[in-house]
Amino acid sequence: TQLLEQSPQFLSIQEGENLTVYCNSSSVFSSLQWYRQEPGEGPVLLVTVVTGGEVKKLKRLTFQFGDARKDSSLHITAAQPGDTGLYLCAGVGYNTDKLIFGTGTRLQVFP
């Protein structure tokens, strides 16, 4: 069974602070996606990483896929209240198209 553990589970910070969310597994994934979910809505895709060691930037968000393709991180610089939400990583294993989601990190950014 492929499991994706995210840490921390909860994060509460002040506007302007930096933060990093981790997504770890003992399994290897062919690709990994990050989503953000707001209350009452479905998750929305932020980024897909495919290559081991890949780094992608989306404005103040930096995503990294581990060299061994077992882990990923999301770094937010100068967090804004609009970044508040539930962040979910999701991985696709080999020989499957099934997307498995992580345990989630709930971020609260206070003004």
Residues that bind another protein (CB under 8 A): 4, 6, 30-31, 33, 39-45, 48, 50, 86, 88, 90, 92, 96-104, 106
What's the closest the beta carbon of residue 83 comes to another protein, in angstroms?
16
The two three-digit tokens of residue 31, written as one number: 């690709």
Which C-beta is closer to another protein: that of 16 or that of 74? 74
Which C-beta is closer to another protein: that of 16 or that of 52? 52
Which C-beta is closer to another protein: that of 23 or that of 76? 23
Which C-beta is closer to another protein: that of 26 or that of 96? 96
Residues 32 and 18: their CA atoms lie apart, in Å, by: 22
What's the closest the beta carbon of residue 68 comes to another protein, in angstroms?
18
**DSSP 3-state assignment of 46?**
strand
**DSSP 3-state assignment of 69?**
coil
What's the closest the beta carbon of residue 74 comes to another protein, in angstroms?
15
**DSSP 3-state assignment of 109?**
strand
Residues 22 and 97: their CA atoms lie apart, in Å, by: 23
**Residue 82 gets which letter from DSSP?**
G
